[in-house]
Amino acid sequence: MASTVPGDPYEVLGVPRGADDQTIKKSFRALARELHPDVNSHDPDAETKFKAAAEAYEILSDPRRREIYDQYGHEGLRSGGMRPNFEGFGSLNDLFGAFFGGGFGGGQSGPAQGDDAIIAVSVTLAEAAAGKTTTISFEAIDRCEECDGSGAEPGSKLSSCDRCNGSGVVEGVANSPFGQVLQRRACDACDGQGQIAESPCESCDGRGRVVRRRELEIEVPPGIDDGQRIRLGGRGHAGERGGPAGDLYVQVQVEASEQLLRDGDDLICVLDVPAPSAALGVTLEVEGLDGPVPVKVPTATQPGEIIELSGLGMPQLRRPERRGALRVVINVVIPRRLTDEQRSLNQQLADSLTDENLAAPQGLGAKLRRLLSSSR
């Protein structure tokens, strides 16, 4: 078998070249736990990554292999006949069993907690600000009511599994990079339960659990942000063999608003102000969370200036009585398609302007900083 290490085994395990045996072992076990199939079921490359880590550990945990690698690299190991020894392992669980004696994925005859469930719910920005009570519908694994999760038809009995003697676990010897080790795995005859139903429940085909559609009323709290989750303990999939249910996670998706942009607890909007009105000052309206909001634009307001209205932003998630600000960015609009009269009036204004009218209260650096900050 060709080397699966994509590079230096020290880099694979994240240890320095002078690392002692305890450091190497600790790093390998931590990495192996991260790659366990129960944690990385979504990662199709988990097995490849674990084999790379196992090969790196095989090299660095053996003083002779480590010495050869330090002097000659992978080529020295291959030419010396020291290839990785992973033949005979059919799956990632088999590999974990060989290295850790079944401690990661062995059979369990006792109760097992159910998996977590996740569902998405969509709300508007206004609903995220005010909070919302909504009903969600989703499919989840529930305990079979007919057999109360036993898997046996009511009135029938459960007998001890002959293959595993009621333990739910079978043992065997497997070859590993460290020689033969005892491997433990769930009994395939009773699916790790230790008992077999004489007459399997017809409602659940002996599984003890069924898939049902649930409806649940949930509270979306005020101030929640897009992508945040609400955890409902014990509302996930039912456990096995009488174990507790997992948790339900509701992932909130806050719909984008055309008028308002969220920045933490603050809201940002743009107010178009005609150039003459920006010069003279004017009161206009913007659309806030609770309806139109009057905005007083001072005399000589410049493009990109920001008017901050306190207390009109989003409520804080855990302290909804506190709210952020509504930041109004001024967009000075230059008039287009002027009539002859309007052009004449603008020309009169332009001709009457002096340096005093056009003098900026800030230097170029301050202008750039103001414009850049307003665009963030």
DSSP 16-34: -TT--HHHHHHHHHHHHHH
Assess whether pLDDT exceeds 80 at residue 252: yes
Cα separation values, 211 from 197, 224, 321, 328, Å = 20, 31, 41, 51
Co-location of 125 and 233 in the same domain: yes
| 105 part of a folded domain | no
For residue range 108-127, what is the model confidence (pLDDT) as tens digits?
445 678 888 889 999 999 99
**Could you write out the DSSP letters of every residue in 84-131?**
---TT--SHHHHHHHHHTTTTT----S-BPPPPEEEEEEE-HHHHHH-
Task: Please give the span between the terminal C-alpha atoms of the chain, in angstroms, as a whole number.
Answer: 54
Beta-carbon count within 10 A of 28 CB = 22
Which band of pLDDT confidence, cut at 50, 70 and 90, is reported for residue 5? very low
Co-location of 81 and 192 in the same domain: no
Question: Could you tell me the two tokens for 54?
Answer: 């196992």
Co-location of 62 and 95 in the same domain: yes
For residue range 125-173, what is the model confidence (pLDDT) as tens digits?
999 999 999 999 988 889 888 888 878 888 887 888 888 887 777 877 6
Co-location of 180 and 228 in the same domain: yes
The β-bridge partners of 131 are none
| 288 part of a folded domain | yes
Give the chain's domain count. Answer: 3
| 3 part of a folded domain | no
Confirm if 165 and 207 have CB atoms less than 8 A apart: no
Q: What is the mean pLDDT of residues 63-72?
A: 83
For residue range 260-283, what is the model confidence (pLDDT) as tens digits?
999 999 999 999 999 999 989 999
Co-location of 240 and 265 in the same domain: no
Confirm if 148 and 277 have CB atoms less than 8 A apart: no
Which band of pLDDT confidence, cut at 50, 70 and 90, is reported for residue 229? very high
- 272: containing domain: 261-375
Co-location of 131 and 58 in the same domain: no
Backbone φ and ψ of 173, nearest 5°: -105, 130
Q: What is the mean pLDDT of residues 341-351?
A: 85
Co-location of 121 and 244 in the same domain: yes
Co-location of 200 and 279 in the same domain: no
Co-location of 281 and 246 in the same domain: no
Share of the chain above pLDDT 90, in %: 30
Quick one: DSSP state of residue 287? E
Kindly report the CATH number assigned to the domain that includes residue 144: 2.10.230.10
Beta-carbon count within 10 A of 322 CB = 13
Which run of H or of E encompasses 180?
strand 179-186
Co-location of 126 and 94 in the same domain: no
End-of-domain residue from the set 42, 66, 100:
100
Backbone φ and ψ of 270, nearest 5°: -115, 135
Q: Which region among 239-248, 272-281, 326-335 has the lowest average model confidence (pLDDT)?
A: 239-248
For residue range 40-65, what is the model confidence (pLDDT) as tens digits?
556 677 777 777 888 888 888 888 88
Confirm if 317 and 221 have CB atoms less than 8 A apart: yes
Kindly report the CATH number assigned to the domain that includes residue 355: 2.60.260.20
For residue range 27-42, what is the model confidence (pLDDT) as tens digits?
888 887 776 655 555 6
Assess whether pLDDT exceeds 90 at residue 354: no
